[in-house]
Structure 1
């Protein structure tokens, strides 16, 4: 997995980074896997990407990381691993990583440098135009770290960002209520004319408003007010309900998009997370009409799965001519529901992106609907989603993507996204687990499904990971490493520092094996 922007080198070695970004092994108490993961966490050198590339005159040259991805996946994963295990090493490594990241906040606005070169200080330079979700979805991780370490400066940096979003400088005739477009520029707050939606590039900004309210136990009213205002704006500008002709009649609720003043009734898989968010907000803030909205939107997202030949939902579908409210007709064919255009109409539903890449958003909302309502229909529908996914995508070595959800037999793409294991499987696992496993009364899940424990004074924390087995750790560690230090480098990181001109031929063969080089075709000399 590559953590850096596409035109730069990887921050960490690719071999075991999922051990940090995936907390499933903590929940499932998988041993010795959890011990192997712990050894990797202990060893990894966060400064590995820095090397000799530092250029003190620029914050945009040299290897860069995606600040947002590192925070939600890896900082969040380490914090969650601590909350689930009580293992001090996880918290120590989270602090180590956070301290490398903190200088990125040193811009003129406080928005972090979103593609950041570790080791540099922006020194008050502009952050420029940034993706809304990239800067607006950092509060949970740094706030929870502040709670655990009693160090306010982690929280202060992200609170400054929220205060900026909550300011009155965002004035534009193009703005839709209190919503934000895909990108924003703190130095040009009146430029708000881009696409609006609750899909990619904006989704987790709204998600973190209600979840930060939950993490803080409502002690700061700002978050609930911002969230409530955003939902009301979404109702006014983005949310539409359409009639679908079927034997029993059906309403189809979408959270669409607006660009240049034009509404498009899009069903974007990424926006299907919103059922979970709106349902959680309904429960926490006692907004009963929002729960009805959450149920309807989740039902529509699940229906998109149930309506394809594979039983798996597409990346994106939309209804052309969105001002007309009758669009789809359900027919029964070979035991499955399919879409059929009205023959009398020349426009209708179109699958714009027919791929499925293992995304978690729909099952995330199904899981929340089950936990919030206790209605077992959500488990039943989730099980059908899971079995359809397995029938279509499971392979000998993993879980492939689908090229077209409406083709049978399935046409596979040889690719498995990292979120398949870190998120999608986690939500399926929790859907069929007892409700007290990661209870939503005791935990808040970040946007990568990492559970953070809610502070409950006097109540002992439940632990899901056994104490470290040092014999396993030592058996896993390569010979010669310094076991007394954190961050001495993983096995592959250490090999990557080797001077190839000064090692023996036997060691060179080991190097090739570690780096995944086919020595029959390519041999380093």
Structure 2
């Protein structure tokens, strides 16, 4: 029966450190005018989604993801059909009602009590993709499908054993067959990026334990001794609750912890300013300590810090920062943060605009007036590339894994400013995807963004549906739908309705 549900899903193409009171600034520009070709570009995104979705159904379902080159499937998210669940909110947003309902009906049949694959279950990935996807779809559809809430509750109950005894920080992995955590070290992103989803679950189930578990982890992370104010070390030992190492980054392993601080404050409209205060402190520290401009092009970057040494590197993952800072800067009415974010967004887009494919790499290096350390030895070719573009692609990081962060921040920049250059950048990316990611089936990651003849690699992650295509579509959509003043996006691109914002008092630029 489950197979029959899904086989029918064929798409029809149609910074300040003290915040006295927070979260009242208007985020979205009131003067956005969609260009005349917006409808055409929505159709283009729909076509990409249709091709991706139908290829997944034909060659990979019910496995998690499609391998486009071999026209086969892979279970990398415990065999719960990650693509289906992660696509739910996007299917709703683009108005594919019949497809959405069929996907919901199939999701209701998934057995989330058992992992379908060997190994453990990631608390973080399962929360942002599965729980977040189901709760967003439940809410967007007007609570029409209670099975989605029930399924999210089953998963959260299974994951809750990650918190052991009085430990504030959960272990990052759970063995579902034994109902016990795997005693691994964690990162602050894994431990501190659960609040949006588990707060929403508490809200809809009436069980506040979900909120308490997720929130106590964040409160613990906030209190940790930090290498720089507001930003803890990336590593965390759940057993002791202590930091591991002293690596500081806005990139992977820390990213969504910092992202969720301001988003949790906005989604809950809490009277406790600790979340927004900590975020503002982290932003202030970053502008004072980590901000760097390249010696070529004066591009605005935010460096990493390793054992007190600045590392002049950036990453596709860290490019979410611009959108997050635009959101927080507007909420706090802080033009300094907003302007920095727009400059950082420009630097990230430059990594797209400078390559042969018009798509940015996984990671890159640059030089600034304080030094050239990147942890690598750039070749003569790298230096020549840097002298032309203000960055160079790090060895081993030439690939594009179908990540959303640059286009996510571009979407925020469009909605915040209404400047059509951001709209046009989304058009450019859409065209690049159609040209360079088109694979034997659907679309695929590529090995080298600076080669027009790059080979394909890997598989089509579910966030291609949840994030990349959603942010592109929304850039071309009526901005009054799913406004940034009405919705908060989780780190997987799933939308949650936010209450009316509180006024901001006493916050200067």
Per the shorter chain, which TM-score range?
0.7 to 0.9
Which residue of the other structure, out of 204, 207, 218, is the alignment partner of 1:162? 218
Q: Tell me which moved more, 177-186 or 445-454.
A: 177-186
* Corresponding residue of 1:180: 232
Tell me: CA distance 1:140–1:406, structure 2 relative to 1, closer, same or farther (3 Å).
same
Aligned counterparts of 2:239 and 2:156: Cα–Cα separation in 1? 26
Cα distance, 1:129 vs structure 2: 2.9
CA deviations 1:118-142 (Å, max 9, x no partner) are 26565xx996631111011000000
Please give the secondary structure, in 2, of the residue aligned with 1:413. coil
* Corresponding residue of 1:84: 140
Please give the secondary structure, in 1, of the residue aligned with 2:399. coil
Preserved contact between residue 266 and residue 317 of structure 1 (Cα < 8 Å): yes
Preserved contact between residue 264 and residue 319 of structure 1 (Cα < 8 Å): no
Please give the secondary structure, in 2, of the residue aligned with 1:415. coil
Preserved contact between residue 107 and residue 113 of structure 1 (Cα < 8 Å): no
* Corresponding residue of 1:323: 370
Aligned counterparts of 1:82 and 1:293: Cα–Cα separation in 2? 36
Aligned counterparts of 2:197 and 2:391: Cα–Cα separation in 1? 43
Matches of residues 21-40 of structure 1 in structure 2 within 5 Å? 21-22=86-87, 23-40=89-106
CA deviations 1:131-157 (Å, max 9, x no partner) are 111011000000111122222111111
* Corresponding residue of 2:314: 267
Aligned counterparts of 1:283 and 1:404: Cα–Cα separation in 2? 36
* Corresponding residue of 1:210: 262
Aligned counterparts of 1:265 and 1:147: Cα–Cα separation in 2? 42
Unaligned runs of 5+ in 2: 1-62, 66-73, 375-382, 502-509
* Corresponding residue of 1:450: 494
Q: Does 1:309 align with 2:356?
A: yes
Cα distance, 1:390 vs structure 2: 1.8
Cα distance, 1:404 vs structure 2: 1.0
Aligned counterparts of 2:443 and 2:205: Cα–Cα separation in 1? 38
Tell me: CA distance 1:28–1:339, structure 2 relative to 1, closer, same or farther (3 Å).
farther
Instruction: Select the structure with the greater relative contact order (CA < 8 A; seq sep ≥ 6).
Output: 2
Which residue of the other structure, out of 341, 344, 347, is the alignment partner of 1:300? 347
Unaligned runs of 5+ in 1: 52-61, 245-249, 328-337, 458-525
Preserved contact between residue 140 and residue 215 of structure 1 (Cα < 8 Å): yes
Please give the secondary structure, in 2, of the residue aligned with 1:436. coil
Q: Which runs of 4+ in 1 moved over 6 A?
A: 8-11
Cα distance, 1:277 vs structure 2: 0.5
Q: How many residues are paired up?
A: 417
* Corresponding residue of 2:82: 17
* Corresponding residue of 1:334: none
Preserved contact between residue 72 and residue 138 of structure 1 (Cα < 8 Å): yes
Aligned counterparts of 2:244 and 2:300: Cα–Cα separation in 1? 26
* Corresponding residue of 1:333: none
Preserved contact between residue 12 and residue 46 of structure 1 (Cα < 8 Å): no
CA deviations 1:83-108 (Å, max 9, x no partner) are 11022222222222222222222344
* Corresponding residue of 1:351: 394
* Corresponding residue of 2:54: none
* Corresponding residue of 2:301: 254
Aligned counterparts of 1:17 and 1:380: Cα–Cα separation in 2? 31
Larger radius of gyration: 1
Preserved contact between residue 50 and residue 119 of structure 1 (Cα < 8 Å): no
CA deviations 1:482-502 (Å, max 9, x no partner) are xxxxxxxxxxxxxxxxxxxxx
CA RMSD in angstroms, aligned pairs only: 2.9
Preserved contact between residue 163 and residue 170 of structure 2 (Cα < 8 Å): yes
Aligned counterparts of 1:391 and 1:322: Cα–Cα separation in 2? 38
Preserved contact between residue 170 and residue 238 of structure 2 (Cα < 8 Å): no
Cα distance, 1:396 vs structure 2: 4.4
Length-normalised TM-score, structure 1: 0.73
Q: Does 1:102 align with 2:160?
A: yes
Aligned counterparts of 1:171 and 1:403: Cα–Cα separation in 2? 39
Cα distance, 1:350 vs structure 2: 4.5
Preserved contact between residue 180 and residue 192 of structure 1 (Cα < 8 Å): no
Preserved contact between residue 10 and residue 49 of structure 1 (Cα < 8 Å): no
Cα distance, 1:50 vs structure 2: 8.4
